[in-house]
Amino acid sequence: MKVDSPMPSFDGAAQWLNQATPNASQARGRPTLVHFWSINSEVSQANLSHVAELRDQRKREGLRVIAVHVPNSQAEGDTRAVRDAIASLKMTEPCALDNEHKLRNAFLNEQGAVPAYYLFDNESRLRSFSTGQNGLMIIEDELDQMLSDLRGRRPFCPECEFFLNEEALYCSDCGLPLALPSSRGSHPYYEKHHSASLPTVRLVNPDPLIGQIIEGRYELTDRVGEGGMSFVYRARRVHIGDEVAVKILLRKFANDGAALARFRREARAAAISHHPNVITIYDFGRTSDEEVPAFIVMEFVKGTPLRDLLKSENHFPVERARRLMRVICAGVGAAHRKKVVHRDLKPENILVVAPDDDSEFESVRVVDFGFAKLVTDVGAGPADAVVGTPFYMSPEQCLGQALDARSDVYSLGAMFYEMLSGRRPFTSEKVSGIINKHLYEEPSPLPPSLAIPRRISAGIMQALAKNPRDRPQTATDLARQLQLI
């Protein structure tokens, strides 16, 4: 990490950043690109525009970008004008820092901040931006390598991209349960994709399970996903030759009775919910191999998570949203008829499969029954065990109360709301804020400009009712209410 012509009053800060960066990048959260501005003369709009271009490129690669304005005591000119210029380029709330101590604290308080730029004066910045020399491009290359290294070795939250601690149960940034798929482009049930801007990373020590044959039947070919409790592999059925997905419980849970019971319950819940729109389970087993204490074999679906589609398209036309919600409700309704409550319905757990020769429209698979509860189970879990993802949790789920199909209906209503409007019913910077809104606030009406039929908008609001008695009782009832079937 290079520091190019630092201002004298910030020598200590520059040295600290050099020392802190390697450890911070490994120990903290999602990568953050920090632009440090040290001003001693007028900054041209052209140079700011160049930084904005770099910012936009990095954001497309999944980085969070922050602009930090560092006033210098010897600076001449109107530094407020500089801050306004930076803000006009939407560089994310510029922060005024007036000494090394505040600079250090600001960095520490930014969860996961990775300082990828350096302190420099205006003269060297002009030279760097105009020629691409003097360290800027070198640091860009180093950042690429660092990100590739981190993303190849550490899972991170699919919701907020915060790097995950494998021992944790929830993402400390957004509250997402870490038993869910945790690496971008590596959902357990869909084919791994790599961004063109982030090269594929080959680990120095490859996974020892690659190439192994489980129980003489399933040859593991590559790892395609991981969560807080398991790894997921693409595999080949030895005696048939087709492709399947194999989820393997982590070895550290080999002697954890609760984890084993939950893993088996996941397989059972999906299997008894048998439906074309639910992930198909082929097998479950235990082995004496400590590396494979338990495994689930399921269909390998080449689909795209609904979350990824919403990120790229924001929201769907009414007719497309209706078609997708119809098949989602069909799959969840099948689970409800078997007394299975999913408890974690959200766009990340819906795989959208493109039309093929046999189908005119998109199809879906409801996946990840890791938090599912079989209502007929005895001792399936304490009534006050809060599980789920905050944005889609029902009020009773937020309170840790006993759940039934009506909780899933609430989650479906929240998803349909987002599919049509491009925004979630409730948002907040803190998990507690989201929960309070689920409990006490009504969602904003869907915008009239979307031309959503009155029956659909009313049905969504009914699904989001605070009292479970006021909602449709099952996913199938919701589909009827919305005239989807």
DSSP string, 395-425: HHHHTT----HHHHHHHHHHHHHHHHHSS-S
Q: What pLDDT, on the 0 to 100 scale, is given for residue 413? A: 98
Choose between 47 and 132: higher pLDDT: 47
Under the banding of pLDDT at 50, 70 and 90, the label for residue 387 is low
Residue 234 to residues 73, 195, 245, 443: CA-CA distances in angstroms?
58, 20, 5, 41
What value does the mean pLDDT of the chain take?
A: 69
Annotation: CATH topology of 8-153: Glutaredoxin (3.40.30)
Q: What pLDDT, on the 0 to 100 scale, is given for residue 58? A: 55
Choose between 463 and 483: higher pLDDT: 463
Model confidence pLDDT, tens digit, residues 247-284: 999 988 888 888 899 899 999 999 999 999 999 999 99
Annotation: CATH topology of 304-481: Transferase(Phosphotransferase); domain 1 (1.10.510)
Q: What pLDDT, on the 0 to 100 scale, is given for residue 207? A: 76
d(CA 29, CA 164): 7
7 pLDDT more than 90:
no
Q: Using an 8 Å Cβ cutoff, are 406 and 473 in contact?
A: yes
Domain boundaries, the chain: 8-153, 213-299, 304-481
Domains 8-153 and 213-299 share a fold: no
Model confidence pLDDT, tens digit, residues 112-131: 333 333 222 333 332 222 22
Q: What pLDDT, on the 0 to 100 scale, is given for residue 66? A: 46
Q: Using an 8 Å Cβ cutoff, are 230 and 248 in contact?
A: yes
Q: What pLDDT, on the 0 to 100 scale, is given for residue 208? A: 83
Q: What pLDDT, on the 0 to 100 scale, is given for residue 425? A: 96
Asked about 344 being catalytic, the answer comes back as yes
pLDDT, mean of residues 365-373: 88
Q: What pLDDT, on the 0 to 100 scale, is given for residue 240? A: 92
Class of domain 213-299: alpha beta
Under the banding of pLDDT at 50, 70 and 90, the label for residue 351 is very high
Which of 173, 344, 368, 408 is flagged as catalytic? 344
Q: What pLDDT, on the 0 to 100 scale, is given for residue 358? A: 77
pLDDT, mean of residues 206-210: 80
Share of the chain above pLDDT 90, in %: 41
Under the banding of pLDDT at 50, 70 and 90, the label for residue 484 is confident
- Residue 111 burial (CB < 10 Å; 0-12/13-18/19+)? middle
Lowest-pLDDT choice from 47-56, 116-125, 268-277, 372-381: 116-125
Model confidence pLDDT, tens digit, residues 455-479: 999 999 999 999 999 999 999 999 9
Strands (E), 194-349: 213-214, 218-226, 230-237, 243-249, 281-286, 294-299, 304-305, 340-341
